Amino acid sequence: MNQPLDTRIFDRAAEFAIKAHGGTERRGKGFPYIIHPMEAAAIAATITNDQEILAAAVLHDVVEDTEVTADELRKLFGDRVTDLVLHETGPREKGLPWRTKKQVQIDQIRMADRDSKIVAMGDKLSNMRAIASDYRRVGNNLWSRFHAPGGKEDIEWYYRGLAEALMELAGTFAYQEFITLLDQTFGSFDCSTPHLVNMDDYEESGAGFYATSYNHRDGVTMIKLYNETVDKNVALEEIRNAHNVYKMHIPCPLPGRFVTDGRRYGAEFDRIKPKMSFARLVSMHPEKADEVAHRFARLCRQLHATRCDTTLFESEKEHALAEIARYPFFNDQDRKRVCDFVRHVPDECSCLHGDMHIGNVITTAVDGQESTLGIQEDFWIDLGDFRWGNAMFDLGMFRMISVDEDEELMRNLYHLDIASLRHIWDVFICDYYDIKSASFKAEIEAMLDPFAALKMIHLNGIQPIPEALQRFVRRAFNLDKS
């Protein structure tokens, strides 16, 4: 049975909008205009149940496209609803060049508050659905219907600008649908040419082993710049992977442009607020260790249950074989034995993060603060190694961390001591595999040790691994067994 809800203001708004748009057609569609504002309200309702926002969504075109005035709207529906409608109303100046007029709209949305952006999202996604549908039917003949002097190029410019202006809603299904339709209609976002950024617009927010993060002063975006010694193709691979991962609706921050400050290269992302890595969260709140381990297990199972598009990403098996060929501590017999192991790993098409550990998930569930992104709380980051294959390759990465004995390194990378990391591993792996006995857990860990060794081989390609880890690699593959 439906639950009671006070919909009086929305009901009045819908009735008012029906009368205001009465007798008018949605241009070129052959159906009543009111269908569009109703759809806009339905889209907004996937983000919020705030009745005034929904009222504004259904009223969003009455000032711009009918004889209704803002004063009339204010008397009937109050200041908040009216202001939300006016934020979605285009400039009234006559004779403005097309791009100038559209840039005013983009800037107006970019500077608006979240509530106004929800109204705009309803309108723009409804429009984008119509464009995508018409494009599938009539192809490039569609663009002559628009007033844009540059045709398809102008329309793409406008909707890409809207996507950037609405980034605050990146965690919503409506925004993800908007991006998907945008790419289906105009092609995937070209991120091959680096965009020069002015570092005066950014503040450093964190530094890692290979890269430094900076938040834009506008509070909307951030960039990750790799060290000067890192080849620019590493950053390019990350941003390309991130775009493809996002299009598969795997939770991750919305990726933006391939960027450079003139010396370093990196990637731009929507800034998630508030946010903290799982590792940092446990370091600050040790009592949350078990909760984080369970959440990480759930997130990993969801990732590994997702079938990967093998045309977009590299095979983890092929990547591992290439790294084994370069590993300097193997003789030919060792190398053949390890390659044979990899080749006999059962083939799967699961999505793999490639660098799967609790430092590469960020959460908005920080210190009791509510997420600004709706229901989604946990996001994958650092997607440069995203590939496809058997989930055991991914699990080997986290297993590797649980057996590493370098206390200082673990603290530097994960902000946790070895004992804490091993506890999280124990809870995680028992949850992931639904392990009920110590003997089964030991069996699973022994099965994963060779995959942990493969990740150590991968790390050796970045910097030589210490002798203790070299010995682990040999033990994991029984290379010293007579």
Which two structure tokens, joined as six digits, stand for 429?
Answer: 């792996």
Question: Token pair of 81, please?
Answer: 């609803």
Residue 212 pairs in a beta bridge with 207, 225
The verdict on residue 82 lying in a domain is: yes
Q: In CATH, what number is assigned to the domain containing residue 106?
A: 1.10.3210.10
The last residue of one of the domains, among 169, 186, 203, is: 186
What percentage of the chain has pLDDT greater than the value 70?
Answer: 95
Domain hosting residue 199, numbered range: 195-270
Integer Cα distance of 419 and 426 in angstroms = 11
Read off the pLDDT of residues 261-318 as tens digits, 9 standing for 90 and up: 999 999 998 888 778 889 999 999 999 999 999 999 999 999 999 999 999 899 999 9
CB distance 455 to 385 below 8 Å: no
- Least confident residue range of 60-74, 87-101, 226-240, 355-369: 87-101
Instruction: Give the Cα separation of 270 and 279 in Å (integer).
Output: 21
Q: Which residue has the higher pLDDT, 263 or 164?
A: 263
Rounded Cα distance, 325 and 323, in Å:
5
Q: Are residues 93 and 201 both part of a single domain?
A: no
Please identify, among 270, 297, 320, the residue that sits at the C-terminal boundary of a domain. 270
State mean pLDDT over 115-124. Answer: 95
Considering the domain architecture, whether residues 285 and 264 belong to the same structural domain is answered as no
Structure tokens at 410: 């673990």
For the chain, what is the mean pLDDT? 88
Q: What is the DSSP secondary structure assignment for residue 145, as one 8-state letter?
A: G
Q: Which pLDDT band holds residue 371 (cuts at 50, 70, 90)?
A: very low
Residue whose C-alpha is closest to residue 146's, from 23, 26, 27? 27
pLDDT number for residue 100: 84
261 and 332 fall within a common domain = no
Residues 226 and 101 in one domain: no
Selecting among 65, 164, 334, 348, the annotated active-site residue is: 65
Among this protein's residues, is 65 annotated catalytic? Answer: yes
Tell me the pTM: 0.69
Say which CATH number the domain at 441 has. Answer: 3.90.1200
Mean pLDDT in residue range 147-154: 85
pLDDT higher than threshold 50 for residue 375 = no
Q: Are 265 and 223 in contact (CB under 8 A)?
A: no
Q: Is residue 329 part of a domain?
A: yes
Over residues 101-124, the mean pLDDT reads 91
Tell me how far apart the alpha carbons of residues 50 and 110 are, in angstroms, rounded to a whole number: 21
Same domain, 288 and 204: no
CATH number of the domain bearing residue 248: 3.30.200.20
- Output the CA torsion sign for 194, 199, 202, 203: positive
Same domain for 205 and 140? no
Q: Is there a domain that residue 332 lies in? A: yes
Same domain, 70 and 14: yes
Residue 386 has pLDDT above 90, yes or no: yes
Do residues 25 and 116 both lie within one domain? yes
211: which strand partners?
226
DSSP state of 2: P
- Percent of the chain that is helix, strand, coil (3-state, to 5): 55, 10, 35
Tens of pLDDT, residues 316-347? 999 999 999 999 999 999 999 999 999 999 99
Q: What is the DSSP letter of 189?
A: -
In a domain, 413, yes or no: yes
The answer to the question of residue 482 being in a domain is: no
Amino acid at 134: D
111-142 in b/e form (b: 16+ CB < 10 A) is: ebeebbbbbbbbbbbbbbbbbbebbeeeeeeb
- Looking at residue 370, its pLDDT comes to 43
User: Within a domain: residue 224?
Assistant: yes
- Number of separate domains in the chain: 3
Do residues 412 and 294 share a domain? yes
The answer, yes or no, to whether residue 196 has pLDDT greater than 70, is: yes
Q: Quick check: 369 pLDDT over 50?
A: no
Phi first, then psi: give them for residue 260, nearest 5 degrees.
Answer: -150, 150
- Convert the pLDDT of each residue in 31-41 to its tens digit: 899 999 999 99
Asked whether residue 233 falls in the same domain as residue 281, the answer is no
Q: Which of 270, 300, 317 is a domain's end point?
A: 270
- Are residue 361 and residue 396 in the same domain, yes or no? yes
Residue 152 has pLDDT above 70, yes or no: yes
pLDDT score for 271? 82
Q: Above 90 in pLDDT, residue 220?
A: no
Please report whether residue 34 resides in a domain.
yes
Q: Which of 83-97, 165-179, 245-259 has the lowest mean pLDDT?
A: 83-97
The one catalytic residue among 50, 52, 64, 348: 64
The reply to whether 2 falls in a domain is no
Model pLDDT, residue 207: 77
Per-residue pLDDT, 339: 96
288 and 349 co-located in one domain: yes
pLDDT over 70 at 368, yes or no = no
